[in-house]
Each structure stands twice: as C-alpha cells, then as structure tokens.
Chains A and B, each alone.
Chain A
Amino acid sequence: MLHLLKIEWLKVKNYRTFWVLFILYLVSIVGANYLIHEVLQANLRDTIKKQPTDAFIRMMIGSPPYAFPLSWAMTAYVSSFLLIIPGFLTIILFTNEFTYKTHRQNLIDGLTRNQFISAKLLSIVTLSAISALTVGLTATGFGFFTGENPFGGNYARYLSLSFLQCLNYCVMALMLGTLFKRSGIALGVYFIYVVIFDNVLFQVLNKYIYNTGYFLPMESADNLIPLPLAEHLQNQFLDRRDISDILITCIAYILLWVFISFRKFKTDDL
C-alpha cells in the first residue's frame, strides 16, 4: 500500500497544476468560512446591539454560529459547497494518465490493473483526509477566535462526515474518469450532474415521491451535514433528524462507484 502511495506521490510531487488547485482549495475552505463568519457575526452583533433584551432570538439560534460546539457543524457545512474542487482534481489526476497513456506504461512496467486503480483510490482517500483535516483546523481556529465557549463539541462526528462527503464526491469523479477517459467530457458531465441535475432531481423526487430525493448520490452526501442553524431550530422543536439512513446511502454510493471503477478499469482495453 505504501509502495502504491509512493508511486502516486512521485507523480504529483512536481505537478504544479495539481498543487496550485489543491492549495487554492484548502485556502478556499478558510476563505469561504471567513466570509460566512463575517456575514453572520455582523448580523448577530447588530441584532444584539439593537435589541439587547431580545433573548428570544438568542435562544432561537443558540450561540454564535462559529463558537464551539457549533463551529464544527458550521465549518463542515460551509466547506461542503467546495467539494466539487477535489472532484475536479480527481478527474484531472486520473484522466491525465489516459491522455499521456502513462496508465499503459505503468501496467507495462509491472503494476497490475488492480494496483493501478487502488493507487488512485488511496490518493483520493488521502486527499479527502487532508480536506477533512483542514475543515477541522478551520473550525478550531474560528471556534477560538469567536471565543464564546471553551474548546469542545462533537468534532469526531463532523470531521468523519466531512471526510465521507469529500470521498463521495471524489469517488464519483473517479468513476466518471474510468467511464469517459477524457478529461473534457468527464469534467463536463461531473459539473453538470453535481451542480444541476442532482439538485433538480432532488426537488422533483421530493415533490412527487416523499423525501426520496435524499437518496440521490450527491444529496446523500450533502445532507449528512445540514445547515446547523436550521438543525438547531429543529432540535428545539422537532425530533432530532436521524441521518443513519442517509449515512448508509452515502457509504453505499461510495462502494458502488468504487466497484464500477474497478470493474471498468479491470476489464477494458486500455
């Protein structure tokens, strides 16, 4: 396994396109949260300043969104809107091999087909772990910065959900890469599905067949971490929403995309 990761590392170590995009992605996680933090925090400050006695609002939304323990959910939620970027990176890294025919050379030099695709999967897992870690660091940073509560909260839950989300996005990208082999079409289909089709289908399914939209590939990942403010309200007045069905769906999709990718790569003419 380390051998495979080392080979992948040698491939990306000096690949500037990858590093530029990847570092921009990590910076975007901090950036996007900063943006939302500023907007929400400013609103909150204004509200409290105008009506200091309005404890009702305070109760409704709980502590400031970026204070512990809400910070974890908030950061993970905001960051989930950027997950298309690691998806793009996955497609670029994978279809590059087809473009340069280096996948052939790797096999010729002695990798098995299984090892080749496993190496890609391992890179994706690593990428998702780094992504989740960055989300965690960002949440910690904002939590301390907001300074209202001491460090705490269910960070393990949100970091692992954030990891799963990222993995879900990337594995779907990998699957499209194995299906189309060309970066242009794979990127196009991925973008259109993730940004438009999945959301349209979500609305349509939810409207006509009770709540089935939550079981779509991207929605199952997206809804692992719902908007924390809404969640807070829900917790106040409704039963806590159970996410175990969505969690199982999300993991099932990950396994399905992995299975299709392996299957396709192992049986194709390359």
Chain B
Amino acid sequence: MTTVLSLKGISKNYGRIQALKNVSFDVPAGSVFGILGPNGSGKTTLLGIILDILRPNAGSFELLGHPPSAEVRKGIGTLLETPNFYHYLSGERNLRIAAEIKGRGLNDIDTVLQKVNLHQRKTSKFNTYSLGMKQRLAIASTLLGDPNVLIFDEPTNGLDPVGIAEIRELIKKLAKEGKTIIMASHLLDEVEKVCTHVAILKKGELLASGHVDEVLVNEDIVEIAAADLEKLENTIQSINGYTHIKHAENGTLQLFYPMGSAKLEEVNQHCFNHGVVLTHLLFKKKSLETKFFELTGKDSDR
C-alpha cells in the first residue's frame, strides 16, 4: 500500500456556501501530511468527510486502499477539531469507551496516558482538566491500539509552548516509527517543522499539494540600494542568476534567487565594476509565511 488516503473530487456545500470545491489529492504512506489553510478554508470539513461525520455533496475517497467504513476507521487514531469526551467521566474511563469501540487498545490506556504526561490525573473527571490536558487526552486517545495512521486536526491547539514542543516531538517520533500522519493546521510554522508533504486550501479550493520543498519553495533575496537607484537598476540587468527584481517599500531593490544560489560578493563586485557603489547590501531568506500569504492571499477567509 503506497497511498493511505486518496481523495477524488470532494465537494461540500453548507447551503449556499461552498466549503470544498472539487478537492483531490493523495496522501502517501509514511508521510507527515499537512493540510494547511487559514481559518475557514475547509480543513476540518475535509477531515469530517473522511471520518463520516459530514456527507460530501460530490466526490469519493479511499482510506487505506478501501472504500471508507467503520472498520477502517478503527485502525486510525483521530483528533477532530476539539477533544470530544464525556465531561462527567475520568480521562481513564473516557479512554476505556474509545478502546471498547475500537475493539483494541484496552491494555494501552496506561501507556498512552504516560506518553502524554496525563497519567497522574487519569482518575480526575474530564471537566476538571485544563484546555491543554483535554487536548493531551485527545492525543492519548488517538494512540490507543497503536494505529498506523493518525489524523490530527490542530493538534497543538490550547497547549502552552512546552506542550507544543512535546507534541511536535511526539509527532516526529511517530513519523520515525513509520506511521502516516495527516495533520490539519493554520500554523505554518508547525507544518514547516514537522511535515514532509503539504496540501494548501483556501476557501475550499486546493491551491497546491505535494512535497513540502516543492510546494513551499523558498527563495533567497538580495536587497540592495545605491544613491542613484535608476543607474543601479540598469547596471543590475546584466547580472545572471536571479529570477526577478522587485522595488521594495523601503526604497531598495530586491533580487530573487532560487534557494541557495545567491552570491553577495558577486553582486557587490558587479556593481562596483560598473561604477555603482552600494549603500545597502542585505541577504534575506524568504519566509515561509510570505509564501503562505502569497498562496492564500493576505485576507483571512472567515
């Protein structure tokens, strides 16, 4: 099996609002697959459809090479949107229900609670947990029965910085064990740090999907300025290697290079040789954030 999840033309309407428009992509086995998009872009809707919580208006999908079914879902650990547990039951008892439904993992309850540092509070009622503890219980629940595929919807929601780091480590560790992880997030940084593949959604449309390095290509930027900007611009035309020039807002010129190919001394030498003395020379890496905004547009999609 090389594809864990294969989406074919999924569309979903909420009344007149189209939440997903003909979304198709594949999640390869063993990948950490990030579904990235601003709030309201359709990430949770997409996962909801995969998990039979929502009905798609069009399209189909396969999970683990099979048409979707409850049996297939039993082998997947999922955290969807918010931790959903019985408020009047303890963390441990909540996990017992999940394990009973899955038909697996009854002996794992202590182990998974230890993994997320919740073991000491396992007999406390769920409604006494802090937001972070609830989230950690939800993550513990996904680990029951040691599934090979995990789906996390905003897994670090509500966690403090230490908790976020812990969950990231956990995800990386799970990925190293060869598990496939599908993760929805609006946090680019999170995707950048843990994902191998990414799909980007905006207003229900799939903008791009594939390997992180291909989709979120980074660029090098060389920022330059001189007393006579016009002359500088003419001079710079004859340098090779950059892809395009941009007038920056701070009165400088920005040269964009494919990642790793910009050489500052070359630019400096070239300008000097042509009688232009640079007053400003700066090397910048294009942030993933800028790239993300480019892809999704700056406006939030709420």
Residue contact A109 to B102, C-beta cutoff 8 Å: yes
- In B84-113, the 8 Å CB interface with A consists of 84-90, 93, 96-98, 100-103
Q: Is B227 an interface residue (CB 8 A)?
A: no
| Known contacts A107-B51, A109-B73, A100 near B102 by CB under 8 Å | no
Please name all residues of chain A whose beta carbon is closer than 8 Å to the beta carbon of B89 when the two chains form the complex: 11, 14-15
Q: Is B294 an interface residue (CB 8 A)?
A: no
In the complex, A105 Cα to B98 Cα: how many Å?
8
Q: Is B248 an interface residue (CB 8 A)?
A: no
| Known contacts A102-B84, A105-B84, A109-B102, A10 near B93 by CB under 8 Å | yes
Residue contact A105 to B85, C-beta cutoff 8 Å: yes
| Known contacts A108-B78, A111-B101, A102 near B85 by CB under 8 Å | yes
In the complex, A7 Cα to B97 Cα: how many Å?
6
- Contact-residue bracket for chain B: 20 to 34
Residue contact B86 to A11, C-beta cutoff 8 Å: yes
* Selected interface stretch from B52-60, B161-169, B208-216, B229-237: B52-60
Please name all residues of chain B whose beta carbon is closer than 8 Å to the beta carbon of A17 when the two chains form the complex: 88
Residue contact B85 to A108, C-beta cutoff 8 Å: no
Q: Is B82 an interface residue (CB 8 A)?
A: yes
Q: Is B70 an interface residue (CB 8 A)?
A: yes
Q: Is A101 an interface residue (CB 8 A)?
A: yes
Please name all residues of chain B whose beta carbon is closer than 8 Å to the beta carbon of A16 when the two chains form the complex: 88
Residue contact B102 to A110, C-beta cutoff 8 Å: yes
Residue contact B78 to A100, C-beta cutoff 8 Å: no
- In A101-124, the 8 Å CB interface with B consists of 101-102, 104-113, 115
Residue contact B86 to A100, C-beta cutoff 8 Å: yes
Residue contact B88 to A14, C-beta cutoff 8 Å: yes
Residue contact B86 to A107, C-beta cutoff 8 Å: no
The smallest beta-carbon distance between A15 and chain B, in angstroms, is 5
Residue contact B70 to A110, C-beta cutoff 8 Å: yes
Residue contact B88 to A106, C-beta cutoff 8 Å: no
Please name all residues of chain A whose beta carbon is closer than 8 Å to the beta carbon of B93 when the two chains form the complex: 10, 14
In the complex, A237 Cα to B166 Cα: how many Å?
82
Residue contact B73 to A108, C-beta cutoff 8 Å: yes
Q: Is B80 an interface residue (CB 8 A)?
A: yes
Residue contact B55 to A267, C-beta cutoff 8 Å: yes
In the complex, A11 Cα to B87 Cα: how many Å?
10
Please name all residues of chain A whose beta carbon is closer than 8 Å to the beta carbon of B52 when the two chains form the complex: 107, 113
Sample of 12 further A-B pairs with CB below 8 A, known A100-B86, A102-B84: A7-B101, A10-B100, A14-B88, A96-B86, A104-B53, A105-B98, A107-B53, A109-B74, A110-B70, A110-B101, A110-B102, A112-B69
Q: List 6 A-B contacts (CB under 8 A).
A: A101-B84, A105-B85, A108-B78, A109-B102, A113-B52, A267-B55
